[in-house]
Amino acid sequence: MVERSDSVPVEVLEELVAAAVLAPSSHNTQPWLFELHEGEVDLHADRIRSLPVNDPDDRELTISCGCALRNLELAAGEHGLTPTVSVLPDDGWPDLLARVRLEPSSDGTYSDWSAARTARRTTRDPFEADRVDDGTAGELAASVEAFGVTAHLVEGEERDLLADLVAEGDRVQFADPHWRRELASWMHPRRHGEGLVVPEIVGLATRAVVSAFDLGRSTASKDHDLLADAPVVIVLATDHDDAAAWLDTGRALQQLLLLATSYGMQAGYLNQPCQVASLRGRLQQLVPDRRYPQVVLRLGPLAEQLPATPRREVDDVVITPTA
């Protein structure tokens, strides 16, 4: 049995979970559950919220949980706690992705990322045309190195090649009726607290159109331009392609997103070349040392702050501790 650390009030643990769930996730599925102990938080994958067509190996599900894990780590520091993370601590329990042990901080120093965590958004809109200086772009790329993740800044001819891969990915995905139906199934009014938000009045019609019609050509054209015109484009890649690497990718991604937000930037994802198996190998050729590509994101400033996407209540993501 694991030796428990000194008790942390349950109210504090719940505040850490409330910070964790502000992380991004594919289709805003929020595929995480948290088990609270005295001085520990266990992070579980909620595989009921998986996307079997878009994400058959739960790779992006695990990355999303890694983002939530990083939020929890940083929030612990803001509460005067030192988090010690054990990744995949039980070989016989693959849904247990991480165990975070919490101890009182000995030095009392921490970085406060709470404002960036609250202000972070995901966008499908184009960015303002402002150029991001090379120093800032380099700092964003370097922010992931502590997690064993590589951030490859995509420029020049590589940017054109990647934009073509994104467009091809759109056409492949929208041509698949199973993929379209899965996407449509996660389009909900805001009151649902999850999924891709669509207006209440036109939501049913939107889902019907997405499910029934191949919108690949028009989406491909839009996404090609979004990537080509973005101030910064980054591919996150890892040396390995397993659950541990995916968790590290999520932790690194969240750290990068918070840093970008602190500089007045937001992110949009164009992960199609990572999601379509036939394209991932081609994307891998653009990455130094042919590392495994995990995330494609564009970064830049927005003209105005977007509303936050909805989240489930903390009570809905906290589970009863197992015996």
pLDDT digit string, tens, across residues 183-221: 999 999 988 899 999 988 877 888 899 999 999 999 999
Model pTM score: 0.95
Cβ–Cβ < 8 Å for 286, 161: yes
Q: What is the DSSP string of 42-89?
A: EEEE-GGG--TTT-TTSHHHHHHHHHHHHHHHHHHHHTTEEEEEEES-
Give the mean pLDDT of 159-182.
98
The secondary structure of residue 22, as a DSSP letter, is: T
164 sits in which H/E element: helix 156-174
Q: What average pLDDT score do residues 88-98 get?
A: 96
| 3 — pLDDT class (breaks 50, 70, 90) | very low
Span of 5-19, 141-155, 270-284 with lowest mean pLDDT: 5-19
CA separation, residue 221 to residues 169, 216, 270 (Å): 11, 9, 13
Q: Which domains does the chain have, with CATH numbers?
A: 10-119 (3.40.109.10), 134-175+214-300 (3.40.109.10)
Among 51, 129, 120, 115, which Cα is nearest to 300's?
A: 129
Nearest CA to 113 out of 17, 257, 14 is that of 257
Q: What percent of the chain has pLDDT over 70?
A: 97
Is the pLDDT reported for residue 105 higher than 90?
no
What number is the average pLDDT over the span 129-155?
A: 94
Closest Cα partner for 28 from 203, 266, 269, 237? 269
- Give pLDDT, residue 238: 98
CA angle 78, 316, 190 (to 5 degrees): 95
User: Does the pLDDT at position 142 exceed 90?
Assistant: yes
Phi, psi of 262, deg, nearest 5: -65, -20
